[in-house]
Amino acid sequence: MMAGPHLDQAMVRLFDVALLAVATPRPLVVAFGDARRWRAHLIHVRGCDVVEVGIAGDVSALVSHERAGRIDLVCALDVLHRVREPRAWLRTMAQLLRPGGRLLTTVPNPASVEWWWRTFAQEGAGRPIGRAALIRDHQHVGFLTLAHGYFGYGPGGARRETSRPGAWARAWRRRLAPGVFYLGARVELTTRRALETAWASSACPPL
């Protein structure tokens, strides 16, 4: 995964917001991709049990595991754009999560200068997934959207889409942000409206 102080700060904020509504005393987190830089934060600061799977981890083995359906947070860190069938993979992630569990997905920003350079340098950039496609893929398999946006740029590290910025601000953000994030929840249709209301009224820190 891409590195840098702004990106590290942004990832810590994303983890904290994703775990905000988790009521269990020791949340169970499954991380796909390279989560080594944030493992200490998740374990020692947030008090999580962390299972690191890697990019090419055996998903089927996790689905058949006794903890499947009881996981509080699944993190897919720069993995989805390398998956051949993203929506099928996301359905499997939903099977891992408990009802109300969170899925945090990050992918490289295909509109950024960094993505263009990685593609030009033939570094195995993967299939480009923009923010709109990222949201659409998650919602198609039933995730409730909690937050989404660009991250890894500027002093704040990440921004949640709360207002419509000007055209110049949008253009610079899309070019400078190395990553796009999506935070969703696994919900049943009967509880979707209640969760939407609770999240909208929660005192979560802005990204």
Which CATH number do you get for residue 60?
Answer: 3.40.50.150
Question: In sequence order, what are the residues at sequence separation of 6 or more whose Cβ sits closer than 8 angstroms to the Cβ of residue 116?
Answer: none
- Say if 19 falls within a structural domain: no
Other CB atoms within a 10 A radius of the CB of residue 39 amount to 15
> How many structural domains compose the chain?
1
Using CA atoms, how far apart are residues 129 and 145, in angstroms rounded to an integer?
Answer: 17
pLDDT tens per residue across span 77-128:
988 988 888 999 999 999 999 999 999 999 988 877 666 666 655 555 567 8
Q: What is the pLDDT of residue 8?
A: 75
106 vs 7: which has the higher pLDDT: 106
Q: Which domain holds residue 178?
A: 5-12+24-201
- Say if 76 falls within a structural domain: yes
